[in-house]
Structure 1
């Protein structure tokens, strides 16, 4: 079970105002599956919130200052804070109502002995002693540097959830989005030393599409089909790399659903060619996606390269608490 790290509260004078809490702030009760459900809920995770998550995910150590994020997204700092505050309040409501997948059914409670009328001592919750969090703390962790600059940090389980979404992006939309964001015509990029000319951007996108097409042709065998379910309609098959070497080597052919699952390391194959299904996949999902653990692969594959994929698959499965 994951520890719930809570920093010391330093209360200021001033009655019921929110306490000043310095240093690292962590609250990691929501599971990976909980974050996946949140990212699918547009009433909580708006397009703006997903943009913020994308900026943090692609930042060093998954962290950045809010003002830097606002500048990168061409937003007013207050508008950014308002969006995060809204999401934080919604997450808190869902958490307290028990409608989120979490590691604890409720907040850890500070308990103090109370003498009942019977004279016995029992443990009872002291409401005033609960940790009072700002709305943003339900969305991000926080870190303060030596200069007092504060940083939002993606929570570990949120990173895993977002990585699963990125890994399952079999259409490479995030690659294209990154190229467009670096283009000189992107709003706010004029004059930037790091922006690229439009001709460079178009050339890179053209190379990306050409590379995808070449990789698919290279990955097709004599009788191409989905290695999991055997579907062989060419128009629906996707070529997926094993992982470490990207598209420089021959990949696997899979249908869209199983391609996304394989890319996200939710399924893999044993050295004997048997299907492995992550414990993160529920019984209901196994039925919906047609996953039968131990079923033989429908097409040949490289055992050496599958070993690398399987190692990541195993490591991700072990992270379950």
Structure 2
């Protein structure tokens, strides 16, 4: 079988080098050209006037004006570069390549672009990404779409996931300590060995979910749908479950001490060997 000859490398010429430099730094060259031209014109105009006082009084304001212009143009250029880099990192976060995705998250964290009201991933679609072991501390992920994303061992400490679409995600071993998941959609998610301490899961539908042995100390499950869920051996110390639906829920050997389940719906709920010390079931039905 004949082999196609490989294409020889492109010859490096002065013309090619200048063209590459122009492509890489054309904005800066344009800026320097503008500034140089402005200074030259101002100097020529003033030098035609032979009086030194007039020269200085006219030249200094021109210089100040040019400096201000330089700063404004540089600021606009930097903002453009920042916005472009953010968009590129968001695209990389949705990658199925774990190294690329997690490196992008790390850079977004380092730049402070994940936190606050303008978090770069808020309302973005990063479905099917491989984010195993990524770190989203204090990240703004409100209403972010993450269908079938690999979130194994991800750290969501104090992250805002309210209203997020977490359909079919794998959260095995994930840390959601202090995270806000109010109104999030966890349909078909895998929640094995997750850490939910101090998390907000109010109004979340966990019907039929298996949370065996999970740590849910001080979790907020107010008005959550927990029907037929399995919390056996789970730690629910000081949990808030007022108004929650725990119909046919399995709390076998769970620690519910100091939990607040006032007004909960608790028909046919299983509490075999559970720790119910100071658990509040006032007005539960």
Higher strand share: 1
| TM-score, normalised with respect to structure 2 | 0.24
| TM-score, normalised with respect to structure 1 | 0.22
Quick one: higher RCO (CA 8 Å, sep 6+), 1 or 2?
A: 1
Query: Larger Cα Rg: Structure 1 or Structure 2?
Result: 2
Higher helix share: 1
